[in-house]
Structure 1
Amino acid sequence: MSAYNVYDAPLGSLVRYFDGAPKPPARFTKKLAAWQTRNGVGRLVRRQPSRERATYTAPASITLHEGDFASGSVILVTVMRTHSVDSELGFEIVERPKIGMVRVLHPIGDEEELLHLAENREAAELWLAKTGHSRCSLEEITADEVGADVVEGRAAA
C-alpha cells in the first residue's frame, strides 16, 4: 500500500512503514540505525494537503507519531516522522481506532492534528484537563466511520 492510501485513513490509525530490506544483525549498529529510519510503526496524527509556492510544489504528506521519551512524568523528546505521499516506502494500516474511542484534535491552520486517542470521552476530558491544552475538540469514533472504511475497502487486513 502506498502512503497515498494511508492519507485517507482515519486519524489515530496505527501505520507500519517499511522499505522491504531485511533487518540487519544487531552487531551492525550503523546499518541497523539506518534500517530503523526506514522501517517502523507510528500513529497517524496529521495529514497535510499539497502546497504550491512560487518556486516549488510540496506534495501531500502524512505525519506519524512514533513515541515519546520521558523522564518520570515529563516528556523530553517526541518522535514524529513526516512522509510524502509519493514516498517509495511501503505502508500498511495495522490497526484502526475502535468504535467508542475519542480523538483529541487540535486545529493547526485549516487542518487538525491528533494530540491524543482516548478509550472513551471521560478519559479524553481527563487528559485534556491534566495537560491544559486549549482550543481542542473531541471527536468520537462512530460505527458509521468504521463501516465506511469497510465499504470503501480501507479496512485493515
Structure 2
Amino acid sequence: MSVQSIYDHAPLGAIIRFSDGTPRPPERHRKKLAAWEHHNSSGRLTRKQAERRVASTVISASITLHAGDYGGGGVVVLRIHRTFPVDSDLSFVMTECPKVGAVHVLDRPGDDADLVYLASHRADAEEWLTRHGYPHAVLREISADETAVQGRTAT
C-alpha cells in the first residue's frame, strides 16, 4: 500500500506509522535522535484533503496525522498535527483501525472535515460534544466496510 493507498483506503481514526527507513540512533545522540523521530513516528489519521487549485498553483492531495498533545491538568495547550502529501518519500504503515461501532466526531459536514474525537460509542460522542464547542459537528458511526482494508502495510 502506498501513501496514495493510505489516502484512498485508510479510515479516519486509523493509527498510521511513518518511517524514512533509517536505523534509530543511540539515546546518547540527542540531536540525531530528535531528527530521526521527526521522520519516524506515528499518529491518528484526522484528515484527508483532495488535490486543489489555488490560482495557478496545484496543491497535491494530503493526509494529516494527529501526532500528540502537550499540556497539563487536563488542559491541552498545544496540539501537534503533521501533514504529508500523497507523493511523500516516507514509508507508511496502518497499525490500527478504529473499531466497528466507534463514532467519528467531525468538526463540520463535507469531505473536508477534520476528525476531532474518536468516541467508543454514540453516547460517548454526544457527551464529549457537550464539553467541547463544535457547533457544526457531525457524528458518523464506523461501519465494517470502513475497517475492511486489505494489505495494511505501505512503502
TM-score (norm 2): 0.91
Q: Larger deviation: 64-73 or 102-111? A: 102-111
Separation in 1, partners of 2:40, 2:69: 17
Q: Which residue of 1 aligns with 2:115?
A: 114
Q: Which amino acid aligns with 1:6?
A: I
Mind listing any 5+ residue stretches in structure 1 that lack a counterpart?
none
Secondary structure of residue in 2 paired with 1:107 = coil
Q: Which residue of 2 aligns with 1:129?
A: 130
Q: Which residue of 1 aligns with 2:35?
A: 34
> What CA RMSD, in Å, does the superposition of the two structures yield over aligned residues?
1.9
State the 1:132 CA deviation.
2.3
Secondary structure of residue in 2 paired with 1:145 = helix
Q: Is this contact kept in 1: 2:103–2:140, CA < 8 A?
A: yes
Q: Is this contact kept in 2: 1:17–1:41, CA < 8 A?
A: yes
Q: Which amino acid aligns with 2:96?
A: E
State the 1:134 CA deviation.
1.1
State the 1:55 CA deviation.
3.5
Separation in 2, partners of 1:156, 1:123: 31
Separation in 1, partners of 2:21, 2:78: 28
Q: Which residue of 2 aligns with 1:7?
A: 7
Q: Is residue 52 of structure 2 the alignment partner of residue 66 of structure 1?
A: no
Q: Which amino acid aligns with 2:42?
A: V
TM-score (norm 1): 0.90
Q: Which residue of 1 aligns with 2:22?
A: 21
State the 1:143 CA deviation.
2.4
Change (3 A) 1:124 1:109: closer
State the 1:155 CA deviation.
5.2
Q: Which amino acid aligns with 1:24?
A: P
Secondary structure of residue in 2 paired with 1:86 = coil
Separation in 1, partners of 2:111, 2:104: 17
Separation in 1, partners of 2:138, 2:20: 35
Q: Is this contact kept in 1: 2:104–2:141, CA < 8 A?
A: yes
Q: How does 1:69-148 map to 2 (within 5 A)?
A: 69-107=70-108, 110-146=111-147
CA deviation string 1:41-98 (max 9, x = no partner)? 1000001111223342211000000111121121011011000100000001001111
Q: Is this contact kept in 2: 1:3–1:86, CA < 8 A?
A: yes
Q: Is this contact kept in 2: 1:2–1:89, CA < 8 A?
A: no
Secondary structure of residue in 2 paired with 1:111 = coil
Secondary structure of residue in 1 paired with 2:107 = strand
State the 1:26 CA deviation.
1.1
